[in-house]
A and B are shown apart, each in its own frame.
Chain A
Amino acid sequence: MVSLTNLGWLLIAVIALALPVFASGYHLYQFSQVLIYAIALLGLNLLTGFNGQISLGHGAFFAIGGYGTAILITKFGVPYWAAIPISSLVCFGAGFLFGFPALRLGGLYLALATFALAVAAPQILSYKGFDNFTGGSQGLQMPKPHAPFGIPLNVDQWIYVVCLICAAALFLVAINLVNGRVGRALIAIRDHPIAAETMGVNAALYKTTCFGVSALFAGVAGGLSAVAVGFVSPDSFGLVLSLSFLVGIVVGGLASISGMIFGALFIEFVPNYADQLSVYFGEGAKALPGAIYGLLLILIMAVAPSGVAGVIRAAVRRLLDAARS
């Protein structure tokens, strides 16, 4: 008996695999971005949704992954399929290290500390002492990867496939983590930290490792993004990125893995729609997309405070109840 959840995943998988056939060029590029964001959101959700540590600074880990990959490719000639894992390991280290002071900081204070990280990241990236590696404000350019072994896929399709493979792998890892001992420990630490400790859960170890793992996810996403865009610069990793990640996990649904796909779709496509909507306000209204986006955020929170995943869960439940009676 196949569970509804598994059916849902199957549906998503089928759509994802079919996309390269129907979408091309620019649209496929957009869906690659969706996959990339989904990976980053998944990482952040592990930390914030499942483990209760609020991070407003995951854009910084995304940036480390992106720049790490770019530097390895351009300055050291490492091929992209090795550069991304290497730089994501660096991110794991950075996240793990950041996890230590984070232990002392609760809720709001942690949010501020990570916010500081997000704000400082572009400044550090454009520090002139690092210019030789980072290319300064001009950034670094990379050639796009081609499909290996003569597989008949063009560049856009190959990048999409790479992102899809990474996303699938990481989603599987996350699902296993969350459904197993580790997941239970994380949730216990989030909801009842003192009780968890008394039960023998090493909160400190779990929390710092969770930080590291979530940074690793963000790093993979950042590396993939660098390769997909073919370019990194300090402007690519501003504060808005970190805020978008937060928006993404809440809109998608905290502590929901499948929700992250919706969150990623939201942050990728909705700003564009806000742009298009503003046209109705006349030529002078080019500044308005921000206001429309803000309004949309508020409306979505009003309608679905537990995110899209919450809405779907509620809808499915109602359907099942109706079916049963």
Chain B
Amino acid sequence: MTSRRTFLQSSAAAAAALATSAWPARAENAPGITDTEIKFGQTEAYSGPASAYGVIGKTEAAYFKMINEMGGVNGRKINFISLDDAYSPPKTVEQTRRLVEQEQVAFIFNGLGTAPNVAVRDYLNQTKIPQLFVATGAATFGDPQHFPWTMGYQPNYQTESKIFGKHILASKPDAKVAILFQNDGFGKDYLAGVKEGLGADHAGMVVKEVSYENGEPTVDSQIVTLQGSGADVFVIAATPKYAAQAIRKSYDVGWNAVRYLTDVSVSIAAVLKPAGLDKAKGLITAAYAKDATDAIWKDDPGLKAFADFIGKYGTANDLRDTNAAYGFNAAILMVEVLKRCGNDLSRENIMRQAANIKDLELPMLLPGVKINTSADNFYPIRSMQLAQFDGENWKNFGDLITA
């Protein structure tokens, strides 16, 4: 005796199956999915040393709330459960298991951190639960062969730093390169990427590489050391606070190097202004997202959408916080994937839709940078644009580079 609900589900699923005709028989809706609700979860760093990233989760929650107020996704409201793991992998395992086993979520979205995501990757793949759009640039998360349920999101750090390396090689082949990097996965990936971009036979170009710990008061001493190496190219692989210190100090000590800055620290209001706009002149970066505080986007509809959203659902601080723009973009992507699932919200279909995106644009992505995924490409964003800071805005130059 089929209840009305299962009948509806099966006909919807049949319709979906016809629409995506390449795929076989229907699957059950995932746990956490009801007629009225889509429940999914996230682990985020709201406390501890990485708590600055908590804004991502906060922004995403606000965005989903807005979507719910506008009617939800295909008639269903979003129930987004974001738990704190304090960037500690054992806690991530615990919270993820809680989300999956107790809260019965359909999937995990935009979990933060390399180590935390690695810690739960096996578990989620074994239980066939989508680990979507992980919030980290580590290169290891776009591997559909081994981890078919895990998908990355942002361009990985090695992609960006390779672009730097190649650009250095092309524009200044006899350069002496100094690198400041954070002593963790992010920084070390950068270091490796720059060297890869330069190429093994140019490895000698890197004359000094110095690291710093997240939590140290200042990197001034490191800058002095790097300057002392006589380098004329300086790559800054640092998070906002340390990037600002590095930019200011490298100017103050009169070091005339060509400076490359990671796009993690690209915000004008949050990084360049504190460093000193005149001191930041000449910085080169490879970006994929719009900086909400760059006046160049004043009349841009994407920025307007973001600003409107923050006006109603965020705080003034959020406008200048790159993490808020990041969360905004990611949340829009997630809603789009859910929309495309239609009425088939099985985990298989959610994964399928996520892996089947062609040229999707998001409001806060740079023009030309589009989301693309396929069965063997689990890196949604692979394009970056070189830009240089002229004292007021980031000015794009060169072509869009797609890795």
Whether chain A touches chain B in the assembled complex (some CB pair under 8 Å): yes
Given contacts A236-B90, A284-B315, contact A26 B97 (CB under 8 A): yes
Given contacts A123-B183, A123-B213, A238-B49, contact A231 B54 (CB under 8 A): no
Q: Is the CB of A275 within 8 A of B84?
A: yes
Q: Is the CB of B89 within 8 A of A236?
A: yes
B84-126 vs A, Cβ < 8 Å mask (1 yes, 0 no): 1011111001100110111000000000011110110011000
Q: Is the CB of B118 within 8 A of A233?
A: yes
CB within 8 A of A136: which of B47, B116, B122, B185? B185
Q: Is residue A88 contacting chain B, with contact meaning CB distance below 8 A?
A: no
A240-B48 Cα distance, complex, nearest whole Å? 8
Q: Is the CB of A240 within 8 A of B86?
A: yes
Given contacts A138-B140, A233-B119, A235-B89, contact A289 B84 (CB under 8 A): yes
CB within 8 A of B118: which of A27, A29, A139? A139
Q: Is the CB of B102 within 8 A of A26?
A: yes
Given contacts A26-B98, A137-B115, A233-B119, contact A238 B89 (CB under 8 A): no
Given contacts A231-B89, A236-B90, contact A138 B213 (CB under 8 A): no
A139-B140 Cα distance, complex, nearest whole Å? 13
Q: Is residue A33 contacting chain B, with contact meaning CB distance below 8 A?
A: yes
Q: Is residue B46 contacting chain A, with contact meaning CB distance below 8 A?
A: yes
B176-214 vs A, Cβ < 8 Å mask (1 yes, 0 no): 000000011100100000000000000000000000010
CB distance from B44 to the nearest CB of A (A): 8
Q: Is residue A230 contacting chain B, with contact meaning CB distance below 8 A?
A: yes
Q: Is the CB of B97 within 8 A of A235?
A: no
How many chain A residues touch B (Cβ–Cβ < 8 Å)? 35
Q: Is the CB of B184 within 8 A of A236?
A: no
Q: Is the CB of A229 within 8 A of B62?
A: no
Q: Is the CB of A284 within 8 A of B114?
A: no
A230-B123 Cα distance, complex, nearest whole Å? 10
Residues from chain A with Cβ under 8 Å of B102 in the complex: 26-27
CB within 8 A of B94: which of A26, A141, A233, A286? A26
Given contacts A283-B58, A289-B46, contact A126 B90 (CB under 8 A): no
Residues from chain B with Cβ under 8 Å of A241 in the complex: 88
Q: Is the CB of B119 within 8 A of A229?
A: yes
A95-132 vs B, Cβ < 8 Å mask (1 yes, 0 no): 00000000000000000000000000001001010000
Identify the closest chain A residue to B62 (Cβ). Answer: A283
Interface of chain A residues 222 through 240 with chain B (CB within 8 A)? 225, 229-236, 238, 240
Q: Is residue B41 contacting chain A, with contact meaning CB distance below 8 A?
A: no
Residues from chain A with Cβ under 8 Å of B57 in the complex: 286
Given contacts A138-B114, A230-B119, contact A286 B54 (CB under 8 A): yes
Q: Is the CB of B101 within 8 A of A26?
A: yes
Q: Is residue A79 contacting chain B, with contact meaning CB distance below 8 A?
A: no
Residues from chain B with Cβ under 8 Å of A138 in the complex: 114-115, 118, 138, 140, 185
A267-311 vs B, Cβ < 8 Å mask (1 yes, 0 no): 000010001000000011011011000000000000000000000
Q: Is residue B83 contacting chain A, with contact meaning CB distance below 8 A?
A: yes
Q: Is residue B51 contacting chain A, with contact meaning CB distance below 8 A?
A: yes
Q: Is the CB of A287 within 8 A of B54?
A: yes
CB distance from A296 to the nearest CB of B (A): 14
CB distance from B104 to the nearest CB of A (A): 11
Most chain B beta-carbon neighbours within 10 Å: one of A27, A271, A275: A275
Show 30 A/B contacts (Cβ-Cβ < 8 Å), sorted by A.
Answer: A24-B101, A25-B97, A26-B100, A26-B101, A29-B93, A33-B90, A123-B183, A128-B188, A137-B185, A138-B138, A138-B140, A141-B118, A229-B90, A230-B123, A231-B90, A231-B118, A233-B118, A234-B184, A235-B89, A238-B88, A283-B61, A284-B315, A286-B46, A286-B54, A286-B58, A286-B82, A287-B46, A287-B47, A289-B47, A289-B84
User: A: which residues have CB within 8 A of B?
Assistant: 24-27, 29-30, 33, 123, 126, 128, 136-139, 141, 225, 229-236, 238, 240-241, 271, 275, 283-284, 286-287, 289-290
User: B: which residues have CB within 8 A of A?
Assistant: 44, 46-49, 51, 54, 57-58, 61-62, 65, 82-84, 86-90, 93-94, 97-98, 100-102, 113-116, 118-119, 122-123, 138, 140, 183-185, 188, 213, 315
